[in-house]
Amino acid sequence: MNKPLIVKKRDKVKGLYVFCKKCKKTIDSKICGETGKGLRTCKDIEQHCFRGVVTVPNTNGAKRKTRVFNTQNVEEAIRLKFEFDKELTQTNYQLSTNHIMSENIKPSLLIDCMATYIGFLNNEGVEEHKKKIRSIQHVKDVERYFKYFALCLKTNQIDHMIFRISQLNDKIVGLFHNYLLTELNYKNKTYNKVISQLKHFMNWLIQDRKYDLENPFVGVTRRQEVSNNLTITKEEFSSLLDKVLPENGIVTHSNGLKRNLYRSWMIVAFKLALETGLRREEFMTLKYSDIKEGEGVDVLYIQVENFKVNRLMGKEKEARQYKSIPVTVDLKELLIELNYEENKGKDIYLIGSDDKSSRETLLLIVSKAFSHFWKFTGSSKKANLKHLRKTYLTALVKHFGDKATMISNHSGIEVLKKHYVNSQQLVSATTNFKVL
């Protein structure tokens, strides 16, 4: 064969590709997969044939079956492809012979690589021993970052629909860098988070999927972050609770639709967040059965799963890590208010047990509600729900010093002080200190 094997548009069949037996690559368009030059310049035209590719159902494209057809006749290849489809359907995609193999897809387009990665994050096509539990919010965040990257390409007159993963280089990363800072106006912390996730994505392609690429995100300079370790005073918190009223809960969205963020359990949810110092998912999923009796008279503590660590480490079942939250005087009063004695040991949520919404929805509501009701306090502080946790941890360090990590479950006091503790509060605690 003197001419390259090119399938005309009218003869194209889904899942049928031109394949080079020499370089073992699929030939896209009229480009040689080995040299990247025009197909007519390929020295191995005689090695060109056809290959059928069938995606295994319910794997989100993560697995496929392939067969090489040793023919250069397109009509013969189409017939063989249909026979291949029928054969796989009849064997429920479990067929395993020398000329059929199950393999991970290695798409060449950026958008396809991103879609495959999202499937991986959702454990689609991942072997049981390699599966990790990831929060829905984390996956949504990564999807959003991918969307921004595509918008960045579009903004710079680059067609993201045909952009190949091999075209990703320092120049493209530079465009994305500018897009994050100028178009989206991202602060340093958010910028670092986005770049970090893109870096993980590329590392996954290179290390897990064996792509022959370099990671252009490795050289991106991490921007300096300034921790906003804001704390809330007793007076400010009381003012907030006074504003949590049904009539104050109405919020009007940009499309004109109105929504009421008030819930009957909202005040106790804010109190529980403050008195435990737990993350949103942790205090919103607490159950009465998580409250344990310790040694001694009326000694209680709350046993809560450390979701963040367990997800990062892939810990499940008996390997899960838990932390113990002491029940202080104020926290005990709150538990009594929540009918602890009546519900002791029951597998019932402390917050919103009668709410028909999903836990995921309640997590979003409690965050938005805090920011919404905070505006009614008139405070100049830009506080949100996470600052209740920072207030708790600051008080913890003021009282226990470096031993606070035994309660907070942080790896070290420096991590605690850098990301959570208000240094001004610690300084104020030393006003009565005397050297002599």
pTM of the predicted protein model = 0.56
Distances (CA, A) of 247 to 155, 205, 250, 368, 405: 43, 51, 7, 16, 41
Range with the poorest average pLDDT among 106-110, 172-176, 432-436: 432-436
> Which of 373, 337, 375 shows the shortest CA–CA distance to 263?
373
Write the DSSP assignment of 75-112 as a string of letters.
HHHHHHHHHHHHHHHHTTT----TT-EEEE----BHHH
Read off the pLDDT of residues 171-186 as tens digits, 9 standing for 90 and up: 999 999 999 999 999 9
Residue 84 pLDDT grade (very low, low, confident, very high; cuts 50, 70, 90):
confident
Calculate helix-pair angle for 266-276, 386-400, nearest 10 degrees.
Answer: 30
Residue 45 pLDDT grade (very low, low, confident, very high; cuts 50, 70, 90):
confident
DSSP letter at 333? H
pLDDT(100) > 50: no
pLDDT of 431: 41
Read off the pLDDT of residues 270-325 as tens digits, 9 standing for 90 and up: 999 999 888 898 999 999 999 988 776 566 888 888 777 666 666 666 667 777 88
Say how far apart CA 427 and CA 417 lie, in whole Å. Answer: 13
